[in-house]
Structure 1
Amino acid sequence: MWMTVNERRFAITLADSAAARAFAALLPLTLDMSELNGNEKYVSLPQALPTNASRPGTIRNGDLMLYGSDTLVVFYLTFDSSYSYTRLGRVDNAAGLAQALGRDGVRVVFTQD
């Protein structure tokens, strides 16, 4: 799977889960993602996905997560968190991800190829 931010394209490896398969079934998606906390971009999905939430403890730069059942989150900094998420996948090489996403809201395109 791919995530494109402006002209930067990032490969994403999806988790082997019902939530990740349901997310992939929605693609292609063009989403206007909002900024939150200086470490993540988030957006409400057009429909709820299956969940299997857990507390990962440490969030990593490049994690693609589901908060609740319908909020997609892309993290671009590594930090500790007590929140629960369902893992959808991970950016294979997150170098430059924070710069590509920027400090404000951003349009992100998710595709299968």
Structure 2
Amino acid sequence: MKYLLATVMMFVSLSLSISSCGKDNDPGITSDNAKNNNENTNDPAGSKMKITIGTAVFTGTLSNNATGSAFKARLPLTLNLTELNSNEKYFDFKTALPSNAANPGTIQTGDLLLYGSNTLVLFYKTFSTSYRYTSIARIDNPSGLAAALGNENVTVKFELIETIRSN
């Protein structure tokens, strides 16, 4: 029981330290806003973000998990994603995100996933996989995503879309 309690306390501490880190100091990341966006990090369910690739704009829904929350806390981000395998773009963060990897079986176009604990992967083709990932978000309508990303490295901007709460 003591081991379980210690493990839970370490996970909570790690989660809090990750979400309080603010922006990553990774090369390839441009911080677009000095404002701390932590007020909405506890409940990403339904949290929307805007993804801009050149002139193309997509919306995405953050995953309702610790990884989605930690990614949300880092927004806004502008990342230089590297092309890989003609089906994905990736970026390696210097600091880890919480992960709980599982094999999705099939990668869907528009999946934004975490490989390991620090590699963000944006998929632009659907295919079967044996690899394990943790969900970060999903692009709501990925139509045109492959064309927007192209077949080279690309800069992608991720921003939180503030939702208006009704009383």
Is TM more than 0.5 here?
yes
Report whether the alignment pairs 1:79 with 2:127: yes
Distance 1:46 1:79 in 2: 28
User: Higher relative contact order by CA 8 Å / sep ≥ 6: 1 or 2?
Assistant: 1
**Gapped regions of structure 2 (runs ≥ 5):** 1-48, 162-167
Following superposition, the deviation at residue 68 of structure 1 comes to 0.6
Report whether the alignment pairs 1:103 with 2:151: yes
Following superposition, the deviation at residue 77 of structure 1 comes to 0.2
Q: Residue in 2 aligned with 1:37?
A: 85
4+ residue runs over 3 A deviation: none
TM-score relative to the length of structure 2: 0.67
2:112 is aligned, of 64, 83, 88, to 64
**Which protein is richer in helix relative to its size?**
2
Write out per-residue CA displacement over residues 44-100 of structure 1, whole angstroms, 9 at most, x where no aligned residue: 124210001000010000000000101100000000000000011100000000000
TM-score relative to the length of structure 1: 0.98
Report whether the alignment pairs 1:13 with 2:61: yes
Distance 1:2 1:35 in 2: 21
**Which protein is richer in strand relative to its size?**
1
Distance 1:40 1:46 in 2: 20
C-alpha RMSD of matched pairs (Å): 0.7
Report the AA paired with residue 118 of structure 2.
Answer: D
**Gapped regions of structure 1 (runs ≥ 5):** none
Distance 1:74 1:13, change over 3 A: same
Please tell me whether Structure 1 or Structure 2 has the larger radius of gyration of its CA atoms: 2
SS, match of residue 69 in structure 2 = helix
SS, match of residue 61 in structure 1 = coil
